[in-house]
Amino acid sequence: MTKRYPLLGIVAVVVAYLSITLAILASPWFSWLDNALSDLGNTSVQRNITSGSALVFDGGLIISGVLTIAFAFLLLRDFKFSWKYLIWGIPLTISAIDLSMIGIFNESFGNIHLVVSIIFFFFTALSLFLYSYVSFPMGTPKTGALALFLGVFCCIMWVGRWPWQGVAIQEVTTSAASAAFVIILSILVLSGRMKTVIFVSTERLENVRSK
């Protein structure tokens, strides 16, 4: 039977980036060098209300987060909540919850928005590193190597000092790393290449054979 729930992950990514793109197109004032993506969803700025960018941006993030939460939960359930999946699946779920929170508590909420944004990017990187750590037991070492690269990339983007004032570039590149990870997970599950590798000790194997 073909598993369809991984499509939720792909749709989540499409919804997120479609909403961001539409919000930018509706906001000619937006600058990649001077703004944050969250500026598009600030409901305290009248131009965002008039252009509809706030509704599109915030709504897209909320929907995308909910879809990712559903995808992550169904994936964990599919693999019997094995620790190999929980160790990175829980951080992924937390980051998805915070993605929705970024839309709900948009930039007009001040410090609350800042906190949920930081949590989102932190748990995004954490899920990448933890996936890399358990990728061999799951039988996906190449994906694990890619996850490690993406995790390091996220850290560099946020820790590094860049010659522009805004954080939109950091936000879009690191969120793209998360999006790529979700799409890869979806493809792995759809193709049947993600599986739990069970290691059995030699002594236990000999006992089974002797019976």
Q: How confident is the model at residue 162 (pLDDT cuts 50, 70, 90)?
A: very high
Q: What is the pTM of this model?
A: 0.88
Q: Residue 36 carries which DSSP code?
A: -
Domain ranges for the chain: 6-210
Encode pLDDT of 93-146 as tens digits: 999 999 999 999 999 999 999 999 999 999 999 999 999 999 988 888 999 999
pLDDT band at 205 (very low <50, low <70, confident <90, very high): very low
Alpha-carbon distance values, 62 to 20, 35, 57 (Å): 12, 21, 9
Whole-number Cα distances in Å, 34 to 11, 31, 46, 55, 106:
30, 5, 19, 22, 18
pLDDT of residue 208 exceeding 50: no
Rounded distance between C-alpha atoms, residue 39 and residue 130, angstroms: 31
Residue spans of beta strands (DSSP E) within 139-190: none
